[in-house]
Structure 1
Amino acid sequence: MENTHILFWLLKDIAWCMVWKPLGLLMVVPTLSIAVVIAWRTRAYASELAHNLAIVFWITANSYWMTSEFFGFDTVHVTPAVTGKHLALVPFLIGLGVLLYYYLVTKPRENRAAETVTM
């Protein structure tokens, strides 16, 4: 499944690069769907879940950015300093937040729990 996921992701990004709108938009569905399934399947392992959720948000941001370019709202100003493309930062930052939470909160707890068990 992970290998198929990479294939769809590459096809989506190649379509974006070549401005093949129908293929790019079509590839969002399987790319994002498989990423969600992978995250769901790894939910029992905090490290895997965090990284796979970050990938889900990365693909979401990436797909939004591609769509904004395809439909020309990437340069439309939402505020004087923010364009449509900048809104892709929202899912990018959520993914980053998930990883920061894992590395700053969850992983240290896991390490402390492991140290307690071995003592």
Structure 2
Amino acid sequence: MLLLLFTPFGLDTGMFQSDAEYESDKKWFDRTRRIFFRLALMRFQPKSHGRKVSEDFLRFLSDFHPKGMIAEKYGVMRDGGITERAIFVVDKLGAIVFARVYDIPTLPDNAEVRQALETLEKTRKESDRML
């Protein structure tokens, strides 16, 4: 599975607080053996005011040019050129199996994301056994 985290352009404080939360849950995310991508409408990954985000578990992708093309395809591009704050989980077949758009000031709830990933993993294992 693939987790895509869209972060609104220009809201650095919210992005960095979210990164710190993800870092604090790194052990759980590492056990899932998944890579998580943060997409933003920036050319380069911003400096995190001294906080180092683990690149092996949360990678930065630029959706800068053409501006917001990926965000537009996922339906999270706002008028005015910024993205919604959103999380998508995509399965290995490319289907979106979890999607949540948050109010921009609201940071994603890691417990909710973990629960969704665990439920999807359990469902996948059960369906594999039935085959």
Higher fraction of helix: 1
Higher fraction of strand: 2
Structure with the greater alpha carbon radius of gyration: 1
Query: Which has the bigger relative contact order, CA under 8 A and spacing at least 6?
Result: 2
